[in-house]
Amino acid sequence: MPTPSFRYELRRVDPEQIRKLAHDTGFFTDAEIQVAEELARERLSKGGSSGYHFVMAEQDGRLIGYTCYGPIACTLFGFDIYWIAVQPDIQGRGVGHRLLEETERLIREAGGSRIYVETSQRLQYDGTRAFYKNEGYRLEAVITDFYAPGDGKVIFCKVLT
């Protein structure tokens, strides 16, 4: 698969495209999808002061994936990756890896050295957890029954060098 092009500024159409992409993955609840869209709208309305930054991956004018990340308040070097999503029809072709690599580069340039990501403990997310481990993230914590009974929050961390 050719390397996607990256874009860092959101366009007015992006919140709806992000909503559709999050929905199409089949992983996220309606409430989670709404949050993904809201973060994009927040960025559009407040710019950089929103604290949300985006990397949009495109190919042939189509949004094929994105990340949303930002600095963690009251930390010196911590950043959260809030969202990473890739179109289902191209998952497994390296787009997620490229997005994560680009996001890590931008975090490093912004002075970040610790990146945190969280995901669900449900079986559906086995591939997601394996993805983070393969990308050099280590399991930092599991908070039992965080999202719902039997659905804990899994927190990974990567220290940038």
In order along the chain (161 residues), what is the average pLDDT of each group of 10 residues? 87 97 93 97 96 96 96 97 95 94 98 97 94 97 96 97 85
One DSSP character per residue, 74-131 reads: T-SSEEEEEEEEE-GGGTTSSHHHHHHHHHHHHHHHTT--EEEEEEE-SGGGHHHHHH
Model confidence, pTM:
0.94
SS (H, E, C) 24-86: HHCCCCHHHHHHHHHHHHHHHHHHHHHCCEEEEEEECCEEEEEEEEEECCCCCCEEEEEEEEE
